[in-house]
Amino acid sequence: MIRSLTSALAIILVISFGVQAQHNHESSVHSQYSGQQEQPIKSLTSDDIRGLKAGAGTPFNGMAKPAELNGYPGPRHVLDAYEAGEFELTEDQLNIIQKLFDDMQQTAIPLGEKIIALETEIDHAFKDKNVTDDSLKDLIDKSAEIYAELRYTHLKTHLQMVSILTDEQVQHYNELRGYTTKDLCENIPTGHDPEMWKKHNGCEY
């Protein structure tokens, strides 16, 4: 009797786990966008919206990545590093960079607001089922044009930064941002004696 009950219980558990596994099984076409259907604007994350409203370069996975990751510093990060005491600037450089950043923001914020408005319109057109091929093409063209203008605004600001900073400052910026090699023996900071640096860091030379 005990053996029969044990076998029956085992069968029930196997069936139960099988049903549970079926419920937990993820479809082969399960979307990476699952959950995003609740976003107010489907094409924009909350971080994108905040960045666009602030005139920041963060939306769309980085508006100025080609510049930033190829050694063209961003004004906001230079100013932040300066305020933190990690970056030295002359008074002239500080004034020029601050104005460059302010001008960039004055251009970027209105463009960001326009993108938000257009992406909202695109989203609502699909949501309300009143989108047509012609209206869709018009909205996408407008959004793409403003996006190009916004991206140019961010990238050209990075481009201008290299004419304001010295080569040594650009190198220091890249070090602070973590873009340079972490090999202490190869990446000797500006102003340090190479032989003494290598000796203190246990390098072979």
Cβ atoms of 194 and 186 within 8 Å: the answer is no
Q: Using CA of residue 54, residue 58, residue 63, residue 66, what is the dihedral sign?
A: positive
Asked whether the predicted pLDDT for residue 204 surpasses 70, the reply is no
Give the start-to-end residue ranges of the domains of the chain. Answer: 41-181
What's the pTM value of the predicted model, to 2 decimals? Answer: 0.72
| C-alpha–C-alpha distance, residues 54 and 167, integer Å | 30
Q: What is the pLDDT of residue 6?
A: 55
Residues with Cβ < 8 Å from 120, sequence gap 6 or more?
Answer: 40, 41
How sure is the predictor about 7, in pLDDT bands with cuts at 50, 70 and 90? low
Q: Kindly tell me the number of DSSP H helices and DSSP E strands found in the chain.
A: 8, 0
> How far lies 34's CA from each of 37, 99, 126, 146, in Å?
7, 42, 18, 28
Distance CA(29)–CA(89), nearest Å, equals 53
Q: How buried is residue 162: exposed, middle or buried, by Cβ count under 10 Å (0-12/13-18/19+)? A: middle
**What one-character-per-residue DSSP string does 138-188 give?**
HHHHHHHHHHHHHHHHHHHHHHHHTTTS-HHHHHHHHHHHT-S---TTT-P
Percent of the chain whose predicted confidence (pLDDT) is above 90: 63
Distance, in Å, from the CA atom of 115 to the CA atom of 23, rounded to the nearest integer, reads 40
pLDDT at 187: 63
Q: What is the pLDDT of residues 90-105, one digit of tens each?
A: 999 999 999 999 999 9
> Residue 130 pLDDT > 60, yes or no?
yes
